[in-house]
Amino acid sequence: MSKKINLTLKVWRQPDNRTSGRFEVYPAQDIDTDMSFLEMLDVVNDELEKEGKDPIAFDHDCREGICGMCGCVINGQAHGPDAATTVCQLHMRRFQDGMTLVIEPWRAKAFPIIKDLAVDRSAFDRVISAGGYISVRTGAAPDAHAVPVPKDSADQAMDAAACIGCGACVAACPNASAMLFVSAKVSQLALLPQGQPERDQRVVSMVSQMDSEGFGNCSNHYECEASCPKEISIKNIARMNRELTRAGVRS
C-alpha cells in the first residue's frame, strides 16, 4: 500500500561552474511512497515553478536504471541508500516520514558542475575515445560462433560491460578516482578475442587519458564497488593494474 510522506530537502543549488553554490531547503509535501526519487524531484520542481523559482536541475533519461544519466549523492551516498540501484530506481518507500535528505551533485574536479545536481561527465567520453573501442571493418556480421570465447571470459566480460558510466564510482571514491569505470572498459575488451589487437595500446592510452583528466589515484578503499549500481567488481581494477604492467613489459 502506498502512503504519503513529508520530507525536508537540503539541495545543492549552483547556477554554473563559475559561481559558488550553496544549500537551499525545500519542503517535499504529500510524496507518494510509490514514486521514484526523480519523480519526487519532479513534484518539488512543479511547486518551485508555481512559486516562480528556478527548478532544480538534475540529469535523467531512461528512468529504468540502464542509461547512466541520473545520479546524485543522497545523505552522503552515491545514488542513495540502496545497493545496486540507480537514483531513478530508488523509491520513496525507502524513506520515512519527516526525514531530511541532503542532496548533492557528484563532487570531483574532473566532473565540473553544469548546474545544481547536473555534472559534466565528458571526461568519461574522452577516456573512451582514447581507446575504449575495437577497430574493425564493418560489413556483414560474422557467424555467432566464428570466434570461440571461453565461457568464463565471456561471463567476466559481460559483467564488466554492465557498467553504465554513471560516475557513482568517482563520486563515492575518497580520491575521486575513475579506476572502476576505466578498468571495466579496459576489461570488457581485454577479455575478448576481438580486443586483442589493440590490447596493450588501449590500456596505456586510456590510463593516460584518465590521469590527464584529473581523476585521483586508487588507494583500494573499494567505496566504488560498494556504490556501483551495476555491481562492477574491483577485480577489474586489479586486472587493469595487471594489463598496464603487461603492456609495459611487452612494449
Partner 1 sequence: MASSNRTLLQSSIVRKQIVAVTGLAMVGFLIAHLSGNFLIFAGPEAFNGYSKKLHDLGPILWVLRIGLIAALLGHVVLAIKLTGENHAARGGRYAVSNSRGDGGFCKKTMIYTGILILVFVALHLYDFTYRDKTGDPTIVEGVNGGLSLGLFGLVWNSFLQPWHSGLYILAMIILGFHLSHGIQSLFQSIGFFHDRYTPMVKKIGFALAILLAVGFISIPIYVNVVRTPHL
Rounded distance, CA 126 to CA 186, Å?
Answer: 14
In the complex with partner 1, the residue whose CB is nearer, 62 or 238, is 238
Given the rule CB under 8 A, which residues bind partner 1? 10, 12, 23, 73, 75-77, 83, 102, 104, 107-111, 129-131, 172, 174-177, 198, 201-202, 204-205, 207-212, 214-223, 225-227, 234-235, 237-245, 247-248, 251
Q: Write down the least CB distance from residue 220 to partner 1, Å.
A: 4
CB closer to partner 1, 76 vs 142? 76
Q: Name residue, grid cell 504529500.
A: 30
Q: Distances from the Cα of 100 to the Cαs of 6, 95, 96, 137, in angstroms?
A: 9, 9, 9, 54
Secondary structure class of 23 (helix, strand, coil):
strand
Kindly state the smallest distance separating residue 29's Cβ from partner 1, in Å.
Answer: 23
Least separation in angstroms between CB 70 and partner 1? 18
User: Distances in Å between the alpha carbon of 47 and those of 27, 54, 95, 123, 220?
Assistant: 10, 10, 21, 34, 43
Q: How far is the CB of 221 from partner 1 (least distance, A)?
A: 5
Residue 188 contacts by C-beta under 8 Å, 6 or more apart in sequence?
157, 158, 160, 161, 163, 195
Instruction: Give the nearest distance from C-beta 97 to partner 1 in angstroms.
Output: 20
- Identity of the residue, 42 or 101, whose beta carbon is nearer to partner 1 in the bound complex: 101
Q: How far apart are CA 36 and CA 9, in angstroms?
A: 15
CB hemisphere CA count around 230 (13 angstroms): 21
